[in-house]
Amino acid sequence: MGKHLSKKDKNGIYLISAFLFVLMSLIAASLLLRDPNRQYDPDTFCPDGELNAHTIVLIDVSDSFTETQKKAIHNFVKGIRGRLKRYEKLSIFTLINDNYIASIPKFSKCNPGSGKEANELYQNPKKIQTKFDDFFKSPLTDILSNIVKGAGAERSPILEMIHDLSLREDFSFNIKERKLFLVSDMLQHMKQYSHYRRNSMDYGEFKKTKYSQGVTANLTNVSARILYIWRPELGALQNNRHILFWENYFRDMGATIEEIRKAR
């Protein structure tokens, strides 16, 4: 008959088993997180064919911003950047009267992850943070600084731009998580339809127009937020009826407005 193990021997075996289990778990997690077989686009760091989340920020530069509004925009985008998941795509578009059809983003990259997300057991937090800063954070900050200078335009095709963005392949219904952030005074102004005209804030009447059919958007399950740029000289237009128009529009398009925040 074999000898019975002493209590000390049993404790030793338990400790070794626990150590081996933890070690194998760390190795498995390391391999999973590094994912050497995953392919990335070198320009965007987006995983090939695996985009699950896309956040689009549309900044209306058809008019200028006050210094307070510029700061609010920077903080708004900074907050968005801070909530991004790893590999989530962030795209920044500008709205101006000649850039609302097949528009090209000013910035469009996937979040590579920051040093805070690194596991010090098998990753180099400093190296990861440097990559995040150089590849993602710094370029975004520089581009945003140029955008908020404003431009000025005679038209403001907000509805057309939202329609166009909703048709993008990388913002289609196949993307599991879609978010749309707008920075604008939200005053639609085109020859066919303008919020500057009398009784134009009635969404029910707007829906009856032929024009409305051409600017419908596929925003099903999209989470939307608006940084509402306040224009004191347009206070008679930027009222509750105006906000209600957009609430009805987004609801009709299948989206949910999570927040409307005024920037004065």
Q: What is the pLDDT of residue 58?
A: 97
Q: Does one domain contain both 73 and 126?
A: yes
Q: What is the pLDDT of residue 178?
A: 98
Q: Does one domain contain both 164 and 99?
A: yes
Q: What is the pLDDT of residue 38?
A: 65
Instruction: Write the pLDDT tens digit of every residue in 142-197.
Output: 999 999 997 778 899 999 999 999 999 999 999 999 999 999 999 999 999 999 99
Can you tell me which residue has the tokens 């030793």? 12
Q: Does one domain contain both 11 and 117?
A: no
Q: Does one domain contain both 152 and 23?
A: no
Q: Does one domain contain both 109 and 188?
A: yes
Q: What is the pLDDT of residue 26?
A: 44
Q: Does one domain contain both 123 and 230?
A: yes
Q: What is the pLDDT of residue 95?
A: 92
Which regions of the chain are under pLDDT 50?
1, 25-34, 115, 118-123
Q: Does one domain contain both 17 and 93?
A: no
43 domain-assigned: no
Q: What is the pLDDT of residue 121?
A: 41
Domain that includes residue 28, residue range: 1-37
Q: Does one domain contain both 88 and 207?
A: yes
Q: Does one domain contain both 132 and 191?
A: yes
- What global pTM score does this model have? 0.83
Q: What is the pLDDT of residue 11?
A: 61
68 domain-assigned: yes
Q: Does one domain contain both 92 and 188?
A: yes
Q: What is the pLDDT of residue 34?
A: 44
Q: Does one domain contain both 209 and 118?
A: yes
Q: What is the CATH number of the domain that holds 247?
A: 3.40.50
Q: What is the pLDDT of residue 3?
A: 54
Q: What is the pLDDT of residue 32?
A: 39
Q: What is the pLDDT of residue 40?
A: 85
Length, in residues, of the chain: 264
Number of domains the chain is built from? 2
